[in-house]
């Protein structure tokens, strides 16, 4: 039996159907909507899980998450992660290093999103996911072919999250 005593479960959380949308590669105007600091898989460092919500175009409201290494045994990996956080802070006019992520919430930016294919460890199926490749200031131009694609050409790819 799982005991949820002491766990702050949100009674208003949206119900999930276990699927998510894979956005087409491109640039999207988005804002930070959530951030959480967690241990990495190996327990040897900390990951900042940043969630962004698309603000314009046919994918308005869709969310994408990026995992940023904050501490890591690899100095290079840690430097990349902290440098990414520093860039995000700079675009959001937040002094680096920040004490917390409150100042990043709701701040618009342009994210360049890529699509990566991988094989599920559980099912062996080929799946796709998004990865944020670049962060830019909110005043960066977004190509019309991404932000304003006709809805008929922008049908999302549905992928089972449980297949990971």
Tokens of 122: 């559980």
Cβ pair 113, 23 in contact under 8 A: yes
Q: Residue 157: its pLDDT value, please?
A: 40
- Split at pLDDT 50, 70, 90, the class of 159 is very low
The average pLDDT across 22-44 equals 95
Q: Residue 142: its pLDDT value, please?
A: 81
Tell me which of 1-15, 48-62, 66-80, 95-109 is least confident. Answer: 1-15
- Split at pLDDT 50, 70, 90, the class of 150 is very low
CATH class (in words) of the domain with range 20-149: mainly beta
Q: Which of 144, 152, 83, 146 is nearest to 112 (CA)?
A: 146
Q: What is the pLDDT of residues 8-25, one digit of tens each?
A: 778 887 776 666 789 999
User: Domain-by-domain residue ranges, the chain?
Assistant: 20-149
pTM, two decimals, is 0.76
- Which stretches of 7-141 are DSSP H helices? 75-91
| Average pLDDT of the chain to the nearest whole number | 85
Query: 139 versus 113: which is more confidently predicted?
Result: 113
Burial (CB count within 10 angstroms: exposed 0-12, middle 13-18, buried 19+), residue 18: exposed
The average pLDDT across 89-112 equals 95
- Split at pLDDT 50, 70, 90, the class of 162 is very low
Q: Residue 14: its pLDDT value, please?
A: 75
């Amino acid at each position: 039996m799982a005991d949820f005593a002491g766990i702050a479960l949100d009674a208003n959380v949206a119900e999930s159907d276990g699927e998510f949308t894979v956005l087409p590669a491109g640039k999207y105007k988005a804002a930070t909507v959530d951030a959480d600091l967690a241990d990495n898989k190996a327990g040897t460092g900390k990951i900042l899980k940043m969630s962004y919500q698309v603000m314009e175009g046919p994918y308005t409201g869709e969310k994408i998450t990026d995992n940023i290494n904050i501490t890591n045994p690899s100095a290079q990996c840690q430097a990349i992660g902290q440098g990414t956080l520093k860039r995000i802070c700079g675009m959001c006019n937040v002094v680096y290093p920040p004490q917390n992520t409150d100042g990043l919430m709701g701040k618009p930016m342009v994210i360049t999103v890529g699509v990566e294919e991988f094989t599920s460890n559980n099912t062996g199926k080929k799946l796709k996911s998004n990865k944020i490749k670049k962060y830019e200031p909110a005043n960066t131009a977004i190509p019309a072919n991404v932000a304003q694609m006709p809805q008929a050409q922008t049908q999302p790819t549905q992928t089972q999250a449980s297949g990971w």
